[in-house]
Amino acid sequence: MKSLWPPGPYALASAATRVIEGLLGRSRRRYSCFVPLERGPMRDAVVAMPVELGPEGTRRIIDPALTRQEQTLLENAFEM
């Protein structure tokens, strides 16, 4: 694993190209991006979430399906 980090220039360029395709509306794939949470007790948190991109930017943030227990664990993690 140590040899895989940091990613090389080709890996970064490949990821950037896919995101640009999404921003241009040429792809309907979902991407994992860092987004701010703007709701609830985690208002100041920034997390990696799946998103849909389009020409206007972030079309929507896709909330993961969490059980009540998982949601509580997530919220408690941000309160530390």
Mean predicted lDDT score pLDDT of the chain: 82
State residue 40's pLDDT score.
60
State residue 75's pLDDT score.
76
Provide the CA 68 distance to its chain's centre, in angstroms.
21
Amino acid in position 2: K
- Hey, which CATH number is domain 2-79, 3.90.110.10, 1.10.1040.10, 3.40.50.150, 2.40.50.200? 3.90.110.10
State residue 39's pLDDT score.
62
State residue 23's pLDDT score.
86
Q: What would the pLDDT profile of 18-54 be if each residue is shown by its tens digit? A: 888 888 888 777 888 888 877 666 667 788 888 888 8
- 35-to-1, 56, 73 alpha-carbon distances in Å: 26, 16, 19
Predicted model pTM? 0.62
State residue 69's pLDDT score.
95
